[in-house]
């Protein structure tokens, strides 16, 4: 049972918003805020439970960072609606008592961190993660370290937009090696922060990116897309500038994203993207969950592929924030990528040979939660 569930209604638009805190560790929880039309309380609850596992999996008793409890926020509203900024601000104002003391949050589906930061400043709060500040040894140095990390760019893209996708790519590469896939190809559904970085680092590792999907449809090329050019052509919502496509690149409709043949499928957009209705169209040998809950349990049982679950595959964004803030990594791309790569390969290797990697990940997380509870019984 969740520690806390809150439902909110925006008086101006009647949009519904939700906050679920699954558990607190040392009085604090962690989990992103998403905005999408159709977001539900059940969805947010499931994501909050997943955050508890995602946090716990990265527990290292020798590290400065001790995993927090899991939480999640969600707003049932179209992020493309011109009123979205006002809805976000109203939601955060309503949730401000929790943000101040119990809930640390960053961007998730439909929202950019810059929009959250703008709204947080507008309602008079310090930061979207200020609840964790009392746990820091030196708050001033820690905040400066994180601020410095957010100024780092790698070939035109901010480190904060790359950390999560770099982790997904490392998870995928571990799976590719495990399955002994030669000259592997990949399709990435979603080209925002997570999907874009995943595509970049898979391509740089020699994986052919044969297809990408954004909000407008699919672009594909069996010989491989020019990921770097497309990455730098994206808008704030991850939409590709079609004028940057080459003559040999194909444009396909939105619903064709499962029809592009690829060894590796990376759903990096929405929850429930693969369900019992379309699972039969999945032909990939490896599915790597870059989005949160993109494959339903019913669909996973139908898919003849190895699935690396979201609680492992996409955990690097969350971990990178805390590793940097607490001082376990330096505010550089080199330090971040080394830590992310080592951690992701260790976690994936620990679960990938099990009958159910998802069940194995949950088991590891549960064991870590117990260890944290023994260390901090007041949590």
Last residue of a domain, one of 102, 135, 168: 135
Are 184 and 39 found together in one domain? no
Are 189 and 226 found together in one domain? yes
Query: Are 268 and 168 contacting, i.e. CB atoms less than 8 angstroms apart?
Result: yes
Are 111 and 218 found together in one domain? no
Q: Is 54 a catalytic residue?
A: no
Q: In the structure encoding, which two tokens stand for residue 11, read together?
A: 């008086």
Q: How far apart are CA 224 and CA 4, in angstroms?
A: 47
Are 331 and 207 found together in one domain? yes
Does some domain include residue 372? no
Are 284 and 169 found together in one domain? yes
Does some domain include residue 165? yes
Query: Are 182 and 208 contacting, i.e. CB atoms less than 8 angstroms apart?
Result: no
Cβ neighbours of residue 377 under 8 Å, at least 6 residues apart?
none
Q: In the structure encoding, which two tokens stand for residue 87, read together?
A: 């809805």
Query: Are 20 and 71 contacting, i.e. CB atoms less than 8 angstroms apart?
Result: yes
Q: How far apart are CA 212 and CA 186, in angstroms?
A: 9
Q: In the structure encoding, which two tokens stand for residue 318, read together?
A: 């969350």
Does some domain include residue 146? no
Q: How far apart are CA 195 and CA 193, in angstroms?
A: 6
Are 166 and 95 found together in one domain? no
What's the CATH code of the domain at 113? 3.40.50.10860
Q: Of 72, 140, 244, 339, which one is the catalytic site residue?
A: 72
Kindly give the residue spans of alpha helices, DSSP state H, lying in 125-284: 139-150, 159-179, 193-204, 227-231
Does some domain include residue 147? no
Does some domain include residue 369? no
Are 175 and 127 found together in one domain? no
Are 131 and 162 found together in one domain? no
Are 225 and 283 found together in one domain? yes
Helices (H) then strands (E): counts for the chain: 13, 15
Does some domain include residue 152? no
Are 17 and 102 found together in one domain? yes
Last residue of a domain, one of 120, 135, 150: 135
Does some domain include residue 86? yes
**70 lies in which domain range?**
4-135
Structural domains in the chain (count): 2
Are 117 and 165 found together in one domain? no
Q: How far apart are CA 58 and CA 67, in angstroms?
A: 7
Last residue of a domain, one of 104, 135, 166: 135
Q: Give the model's pLDDT for residue 237.
A: 82
The pLDDT profile of the chain, 379 residues, written as one tens digit per residue, is: 679 999 999 999 999 999 999 999 999 999 999 999 999 999 999 999 999 999 999 999 999 999 999 999 999 999 999 999 999 999 999 999 999 999 999 999 889 899 999 999 999 999 999 999 999 999 999 999 999 999 999 999 999 999 999 999 999 999 999 999 999 999 999 999 999 999 999 999 999 999 999 999 999 999 999 999 999 999 988 899 999 999 999 999 999 999 999 999 999 999 999 999 999 999 999 999 999 999 999 999 999 999 999 999 999 989 999 999 999 999 999 999 999 999 999 999 999 999 999 999 999 999 999 999 999 886 6
Q: Give the model's pLDDT for residue 2.
A: 73
Are 181 and 298 found together in one domain? yes
Q: In the structure encoding, which two tokens stand for residue 259, read together?
A: 């029809």
Q: Give the model's pLDDT for residue 377.
A: 81
């Amino acid at each position: 049972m969740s520690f806390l569930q809150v439902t909110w209604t925006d008086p101006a638009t009647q949009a519904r918003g939700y906050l679920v805190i699954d558990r607190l560790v040392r009085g604090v929880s962690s989990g992103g805020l998403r905005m999408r039309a159709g977001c539900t309380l059940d969805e947010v609850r499931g994501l909050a439970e997943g955050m508890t596992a995602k946090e716990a999996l990265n527990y290292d008793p020798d590290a400065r960072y001790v995993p927090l409890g899991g939480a999640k926020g969600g707003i049932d509203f179209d992020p493309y609606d011109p009123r979205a900024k006002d809805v976000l601000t109203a939601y955060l104002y309503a949730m401000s008592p929790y943000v101040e003391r119990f809930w640390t949050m960053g961007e998730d589906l439909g929202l950019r961190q810059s929009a959250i930061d703008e709204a947080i400043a507008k309602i008079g709060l310090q930061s979207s993660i200020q609840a964790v500040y009392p746990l820091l040894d030196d708050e001033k140095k820690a905040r400066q370290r994180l601020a410095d990390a957010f100024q780092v760019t790698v070939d035109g893209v901010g480190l904060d937009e790359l950390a999560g996708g770099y982790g997904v790519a490392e998870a995928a590469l571990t799976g590719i090696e495990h399955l002994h896939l030669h000259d592997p190809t990949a399709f990435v559904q979603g080209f925002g922060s997570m999907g874009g970085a995943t595509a970049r680092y898979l391509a740089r590792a020699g994986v052919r990116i044969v297809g990408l999907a954004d909000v407008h449809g699919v672009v594909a090329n069996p010989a491989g897309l020019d990921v770097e050019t497309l990455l730098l052509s994206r808008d704030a919502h991850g939409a590709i500038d079609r004028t940057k496509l080459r003559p040999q690149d194909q444009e396909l409709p939105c619903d064709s994203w499962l029809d592009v043949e690829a060894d590796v499928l990376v759903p990096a957009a929405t929850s429930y993207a693969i369900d019992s209705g379309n699972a039969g169209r999945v032909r990939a040998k490896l599915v790597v969950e870059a989005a949160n809950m993109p494959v339903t349990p019913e669909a996973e049982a139908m898919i003849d592929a190895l699935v690396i679950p979201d609680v492992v595959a996409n955990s690097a964004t969350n971990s990178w924030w805390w590793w940097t803030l607490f001082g376990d990594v330096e505010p550089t791309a080199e330090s971040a990528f080394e830590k992310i790569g080592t951690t992701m390969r260790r976690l994936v290797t620990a679960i990938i040979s099990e009958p159910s990697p998802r069940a194995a990940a949950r088991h590891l997380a549960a064991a870590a939660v117990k260890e944290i509870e023994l260390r901090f019984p007041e949590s």
